[in-house]
Amino acid sequence: MEIIHVSAECFPVAKAGGLGDVVGALPKYQNELGHVAKVVMPMYRTKFLFQNEWELVHEGSQNSGPHYFNYSVIREKTNKLGFELYLVDINGLLDREKIYGYDDDTRRFIAFQIAVCDWMSKWSYQPDVVHCHDHHTGLIPFMFQYCYSFKNLANIPTVFTIHNAQYQGQFDWGQQHLLPAYDTYKWGMLDWDKLINPLASAIKCSSKVTTVSKSYLNELRYEANGVQNLIQYEQGKSIGILNGIDADVWDPSKDSMIAKNYDDHLVKEGKRKNKKELCGMFGLDVEKPLITFIGRLVGEKAADILPDAIRSSIYHHHGAANFLILGSGESDVENRLEEVKHQFSGYVNTHIGYNETLSHLMYAGADFLLMPSRVEPCGLNQMYALRYGTVPMVRSTGGLKDTVRDFGEWQGYGIRFNHATVSDITYSVGRAIDLYQNKKDLYTWMRSYMMHIDHSWDASAAEYIKVYESITR
């Protein structure tokens, strides 16, 4: 089967979050299963672009509303990621340093999708499936079916994966001229709540919809940032498939970004060395349990309550645990975290920003990883934590619920709580401190047990293949 993944992110080319990790790994595992999976994404100005060799495979031109643009498609020459990688270059629109966050993002990603459709419409054959990821590629199923220029693509089955339904890419109807000419009787396939909504359009137009965990699909039927009725309506073609982790990239026995490699036999010594390195860097006490947070500092991750939750935990538990935060996001949260850091120097430290290397050292050196998320479609951090023998402390939601069992249950290996509140976090920090200080045998068993849990892509990659098979001729 030939599968074309279209995405705005793909690790290590460009990553802002879990989407990048998934698109960087899933195609590789699908190829290992004997299929041909390829990735098509925008060409940003990233290190990866300049450090690798490329060949030109196509040049074309198109219009997006009044804007005429030339585009080119380049291919990485050696398939070093384990799959064929194609970058779409549109001068001035895509070749920028950041992936998102520009005022003209709507125009950028519409142009990208038009270029992808135009290029594919010129192929001498058709792939078996086109798999689109999140709203940046959500208009492709519509374009295949209803845009006059791409009519020859109308029979290609499409899968759309919702990695995060909070972001839908809506724009007003005043900008519909940016789209290629389409059958206007079908305007309803673009519309949701009087806006053009790429996420909703993809749910309507694709052959199958997947979410990145089963629990998340369930939750979306009740709360999906306004599209819950649509999810309910389309549930017959929807399925939840848990993300996996790239076991080659996230392997503490080989990870070159950590201070000391270890496996489940050497977990105690290995983690200790990494913790020492980390505590040395951030002026924290290596003898105290180290609780970390890694992620975007946004409401979805409940980062807004972190400053108060840390303060409350330090007061209630008399400074028995240390905290280290890595992340960036809302400036108010960043500022309040900096305040807590200054207030509790020696107990709390932060690194505001994005730092892949530091994140690896934190998974390896931390004792606990806190994820109080309000919404967590799948969550990869807790799976990385498990692989590195770091106890996840998670709110029972979405993928966190599907992957972490509380240590109070039979063969449990994590800490779970129900509410994204200061009191639930403070209470859970108390349980973590107790586990670390007073239940040493259990803690030791948990760490080596969790490192064996298989969250690799093998099973999930095969599940996606079944989904494709159900819609291909």
Least distance in Å: CB of 272 to ligand ADP?
Answer: 22
When the beta carbons of 178 and 242 are compared against ligand ADP, the nearer one is: 242
Q: Which residue is nearest to ligand ADP (CB)?
A: 18
User: Whole-number minimum distance, CB 59 to ligand ADP, in Å?
Assistant: 33
Query: Would you count residue 355 as binding ligand ADP (CB under 6 A)?
Result: yes
* Cα angle, residue 470 at apex, residues 468 and 473 outer, rounded to 5°: 90
Residue among 81 and 378 whose Cβ is closer to ligand ADP: 378
Per-residue binder mask for ligand ADP (CB under 6 A), 242-281, x = binder: ----------------------------------------
Is 326 among the residues that bind ligand ADP (CB under 6 A)? yes
Q: How far is the CB of 72 from ligand ADP (least distance, A)?
A: 29
Residue window 296-325: x/- pattern of binding to ligand ADP, with contact defined by CB under 6 A: x-----------------------------
CA separation for the pair 416, 446 (Å, rounded): 14
Q: Considering only CA atoms, which of 267, 272, 319, 324 is closest in space to residue 294? A: 324
Structure tokens at 393: 């402390």
3-state secondary structure of 321: coil
Per CB under 6 A, does 359 bind ligand ADP? yes
d(CA 232, CA 209): 12
Q: How far is the CB of 21 from ligand ADP (least distance, A)?
A: 5
Q: Is 338:352 a contact under the CB 8 Å cutoff?
A: yes
Helices marked H in 224-353 — which ranges? 228-233, 267-282, 306-316, 331-343
Query: How far is residue 75's CA from residue 55's CA, in Å, rounded to a whole number?
Result: 5
Asked if 180 is part of the footprint of ligand ADP (rule: CB under 6 A), the reply reads no
| Shortest Å distance, C-beta 374 to ligand ADP | 11
Collapsing DSSP to helix, strand or coil, 85 comes out as strand
In angstroms, the CA 37 to CA 19 distance is 17
Q: How far apart are CA 57 and CA 383, in angstroms?
A: 37
411: left (phi over 0), alpha (psi -120 to 50) or beta: left
Which one, 127 or 295, has the nearer CB to ligand ADP?
Answer: 295
Q: What are phi and psi of 211, to 5 degrees?
A: -120, 165
CB 3 within 8 A of CB 38: yes
**Shortest distance, position 236 Cβ to ligand ADP, whole Å:** 27
Of the listed pieces 107-115, 213-221, 293-301, 405-413, which binds ligand ADP according to CB under 6 A? 293-301
- Output phi, psi for 169, to 5 deg: 70, 25
- The residue (of 197 and 359) whose beta carbon lies closer to ligand ADP is 359
Query: Any contact of residue 328 with ligand ADP (CB under 6 A)?
Result: yes
Long-range contacts, 304-307 (Cβ 8 Å, 24+): 304/330, 304/332, 304/333, 305/372, 305/420, 305/421, 305/422, 305/425, 306/333, 306/337, 306/372, 307/333, 307/336, 307/337, 307/339, 307/340
Number of residues that bind ligand ADP (CB under 6 A): 19
Closest to ligand ADP by CB, 24 vs 180, is 24
Residue 35's identity, in one-letter code, is: H
Q: Which of 14, 18, 446, 457 is in the footprint of ligand ADP by CB under 6 A?
A: 18
Beta carbon of residue 135, minimum distance to ligand ADP (angstroms, whole number): 14
Interaction of residue 289 with ligand ADP, rule CB under 6 A: no
Q: Which stretch binds ligand ADP (CB under 6 A): 128-136, 183-191, 294-302, 330-338?
A: 294-302
Q: How far is the CB of 20 from ligand ADP (least distance, A)?
A: 7
> Structure tokens of 295?
């992620």
- Contact flags string 399-418 toward ligand ADP, x per CB under 6 A: --------------------
Task: Kindly tell me which of 180 and 365 has the beta carbon lying closer to ligand ADP.
Answer: 365
Distance CA 473, CA 471 (A): 7
- For position 327 contacting ligand ADP by CB under 6 A, the verdict is yes
Q: Does 295 bind ligand ADP (CB under 6 A)?
A: yes
The SS3 call for residue 419 is coil
Count how many Cα atoms sit within 13 Å of the Cα of residue 325 in the half-sphere of its side chain.
28
Q: Which is nearer to ligand ADP, 201 or 359 (CB)?
A: 359
> Does residue 354 interact with ligand ADP by CB under 6 A?
yes
How far is the C-alpha of 412 from the C-alpha of 404, rounded, in Å? 8
Q: Which of 9, 21, 76, 402 binds ligand ADP (CB under 6 A)?
A: 21
Smallest gap, in angstroms, from Cβ of residue 369 to ligand ADP? 10
Minimum Å distance from CB 320 to ligand ADP?
Answer: 26
Q: Which of 134, 124, 114, 109 is nearest to 206 (CA)?
A: 134
Give yes or no for a contact between 290 and 321, defined as CB atoms under 8 angstroms apart. Answer: yes
Q: Strand 158-162 relative to strand 67-76: parallel, antiparallel, unpaired?
A: unpaired
Restricted to residues 377-396, the positions that interact with ligand ADP (CB under 6 A) are 378-381
Residues of this chain, 131-170, that bind ligand ADP according to CB under 6 A? 164
What would you report as the CA-atom Rg of the chain, rounded to the nearest whole angstrom? Answer: 23
State how far the Cα of 77 lies from the Cα of 97, in Å rounded to an integer.
22
Give the binding site for ligand ADP (CB under 6 A).
17-19, 21, 164, 294-296, 326-328, 354-356, 359, 378-381
